[in-house]
Amino acid sequence: MNSFQGSTNRREFIKTTGKSAAISALATVAIPPVHAGGSDLIQIALIGCGGRGGGAAANALSVKRGPVKLVAMADVFPERLANDLNKLQQQFASQVDVPRDRQFLGFDAYRKAMDCLKPGDIAIFATPPAFRWVHFTYAIQKGLNVFMEKPLTADGPTSKRMFALAQDASAKNLKVGVGLMSRHSRALQELADRVHNGEIGEIVLQRGYRMHGPGGYFLSLPKPAGITDLLYQVKRFHSFIWASGGCYNDFYIHLIDHLGWMKNEWPVKAQALGGRHYKVSPEGVAYVDQNFDVYSVEYTYSDGSKFFFDGRCMNGCEEIYTSCLHGTKGMGVASKSGDCGLPSSLYKSQTATPGALIWESKVRPDEKDPYQNEWNDLMDAIRDDKPYNEVKRGVEASLVSSMGRMAANTGREITFDEMLRCEHEMAPDIEKFTMDSPAPLLADANGRYPAPQPGIVTIREY
Ligand SMILES: NC(=O)c1ccc[n+]([C@@H]2O[C@H](COP(=O)([O-])OP(=O)(O)OC[C@H]3O[C@@H](n4cnc5c(N)ncnc54)[C@H](O)[C@@H]3O)[C@@H](O)[C@H]2O)c1
């Protein structure tokens, strides 16, 4: 995978961001390489006990190469922690040992959970993405291996910070997995080999679609009483760009990531359309989230070839959720349905007709789940002490997502370089958040948050 030119120039990051400088200094602290070899017990702390956090913990406790135990959990909402704990206890009774004094709540809970681990153990980050760099900084200080969910960043300054942290983690021989599970789909791995070997010629066009009804926290009504602005925005993170990159980054990154992988580079620029159509609830209340209902993005690669991405969250319309690539000698289907749904296939024509089929993936039953594969792969790297760090490409995929989103939100063409250098840090001082902190977004008198206005607000996204 080629990298964005200059994007990982560490010296420049240190020069351009004070925080990066402070973080990068960690790399010089002499801590011996740590890994849990052989059959040592590896302990896990779960930070962010929601849907995916619970899923990632279950994958961790199901790895082929144990023994593994969940020993600490952290969240900002007690009911979320209790819910995941209960489910995990039922499924993995002998591997879950999280007594009350290892259950932590609040914005500093991540520290307390990681303090329960020893170097070489694993911290899982499954909070909204805005907190990634904060949690990763502490994990590196503590000599912990990490599994962190996608996306990794939503803006330029934190992307620079994460690039620097990725280098610090590698310098300490820490293993870091990133939840872009397409990369661990055995079908997509074989597809990438075949495409890179030229089986459908040069890639000249790619298409990605994620179009379905509103899901997750895509839509939000004005904040109700009884919850702070900050906690409301954290809870409904798909609605707020600072917390997650909005639905664009959160929902679309998987297809963007694996199509970039197939092309073997990242797009260099994007121009895009987007709009808000139905932003009133059936009861007539205006939704206050920052998402567009539709996004149509034209990404361009360095050779001029295009990748078109369409995203829509709207009921009653055609539902399409797939990714395709077209080469000079045929086409491929990467994800048949969903983020990386089986099978992947190659055709000698430009349409996916059975008569033109060249290859269709066949995956062993025990390797069909990419969420489990990514954990088996991470654990193998830890147990065998093999280099393993997926953060750089995870940040790059996050930046390409942000580039498409920013192009739609501003109405301007945005280059990868401009996205990286954009100085709008969307959640400044997030590392100091307490339960009483003001939220990064302030509502107006009607409870509305600033929404993107293409053509009007063009230097920042809102
Ligand atoms: N790889 C995938 O296919 C996949 C699928 C779903 C979600 N995800 C990712 O996982 C992450 C979480 O998504 P989810 O669907 O599980 O959301 P969720 O709302 O179910 O869970 C997030 C949890 O994090 C907690 N939290 C928020 N801020 C916190 C903080 N500062 N410290 C501790 N806990 C905090 C929330 O209270 C909540 O319990 C997102 O980044 C999302 O994109 C990845």
Ligand 1 centroid–CA 80 distance in Å is 10
Q: Are 420 and 384 in contact, with CB atoms under 8 Å apart?
A: no
Residue 100 burial by Cβ neighbours in a 10 Å radius (0-12, 13-18, 19+): exposed
Ligand 1 atom nearest to CA at 52: 16
Query: Cβ(126) to ligand 1 under 6 A?
Result: yes
Element (H, E) at 103: strand 103-105
Terminal-residue alpha carbon distance, the chain: 32
* d(C-alpha 152, C-alpha 176), whole Å: 12
* d(C-alpha 109, C-alpha 73), whole Å: 8
Ligand 1 centroid–CA 126 distance in Å is 4
Pocket probe mutation, ligand 1, options 107, 114, 127, max atoms within 8 Å of Cβ: 127
Ligand 1 atom nearest to CA at 371: 1
> b/e per residue, 149-172, with b = 16+ CB within 10 A?
bbbbbbbbbbbbbbbbbbbbbbbb
Query: Cβ(257) to ligand 1 under 6 A?
Result: no
Taking CA atoms only, the protein residue closest to ligand 1 atom 6 is 52
User: Which phi and psi angles does 19 have, rounded to 5°?
Assistant: -65, -40
Amino acid at 189: Q
Query: Cβ(130) to ligand 1 under 6 A?
Result: no
- What integer pLDDT is reported at residue 383 of this predicted model? 96
Ligand 1 centroid–CA 155 distance in Å is 18
Q: Are 404 and 413 in contact, with CB atoms under 8 Å apart?
A: no
One pLDDT digit (tens) per residue for the chain, 462 residues: 333 233 333 333 333 334 444 444 444 444 444 555 556 999 999 999 999 999 999 999 999 999 999 999 999 999 999 999 999 999 999 999 999 999 999 999 999 999 999 999 999 999 999 999 999 999 999 999 999 999 999 999 999 999 999 999 999 999 999 999 999 999 999 999 999 999 999 999 999 999 999 999 999 999 999 999 999 999 999 999 999 999 999 999 999 999 999 999 999 999 999 999 999 999 999 999 999 999 999 999 999 999 999 999 999 999 999 999 999 999 999 999 999 999 999 999 999 999 999 999 999 999 999 999 999 999 999 999 999 999 999 999 999 999 999 999 999 999 999 999 999 999 999 999 999 999 999 999 989 999 999 999 999 999
Query: Cβ(60) to ligand 1 under 6 A?
Result: no
* d(C-alpha 352, C-alpha 346), whole Å: 8
- What integer pLDDT is reported at residue 392 of this predicted model? 98
In 3D space, the residue among 385, 434, 362, 425 whose CA is nearest the CA of residue 186 turns out to be 362
Ligand 1 atom nearest to CA at 253: 43
- What integer pLDDT is reported at residue 35 of this predicted model? 52
Ligand 1 centroid–CA 53 distance in Å is 6
* d(C-alpha 426, C-alpha 428), whole Å: 6
Quote the DSSP letter at residue 133: H
Task: Give the model confidence (pLDDT) of 1-23 as tens digits.
Answer: 333 233 333 333 333 334 444 44
CA angle 416, 301, 388 (to 5 degrees): 65
Query: Cβ(399) to ligand 1 under 6 A?
Result: no
- Which residue intervals of 120-245 are DSSP H helices? 132-141, 156-171, 186-196, 229-235, 241-244
Pocket probe mutation, ligand 1, options 75, 232, 431, max atoms within 8 Å of Cβ: 75
Q: Are 389 and 175 in contact, with CB atoms under 8 Å apart?
A: yes
Task: Give the model confidence (pLDDT) of 259-296 as tens digits.
Answer: 999 999 999 999 999 999 999 999 999 999 999 999 99
* d(C-alpha 364, C-alpha 309), whole Å: 31
Ligand 1 atom nearest to CA at 81: 39
Taking CA atoms only, the protein residue closest to ligand 1 atom 28 is 127
- What integer pLDDT is reported at residue 38 of this predicted model? 56
Q: Are 184 and 257 in contact, with CB atoms under 8 Å apart?
A: no
Question: Could you tell me the two tokens for 155?
Answer: 């803006």
H helix and E strand count, the chain: 14, 15
Query: Cβ(234) to ligand 1 under 6 A?
Result: yes
- What integer pLDDT is reported at residue 34 of this predicted model? 52
Taking CA atoms only, the protein residue closest to ligand 1 atom 20 is 50
* d(C-alpha 164, C-alpha 10), whole Å: 6
Query: Cβ(52) to ligand 1 under 6 A?
Result: yes
Q: What sign does the CA torsion over 167, 168, 171, 175 have?
A: negative
Query: Cβ(233) to ligand 1 under 6 A?
Result: no
* d(C-alpha 266, C-alpha 361), whole Å: 25
Quote the DSSP letter at residue 413: -
Query: Cβ(181) to ligand 1 under 6 A?
Result: yes
Q: Please tell me the number of Cα atoms within 13 Å of 355 on its side-chain side.
A: 0
SS3 category, 24 = helix
Ligand 1 centroid–CA 372 distance in Å is 18
Q: Please tell me the number of Cα atoms within 13 Å of 366 on its side-chain side.
A: 4
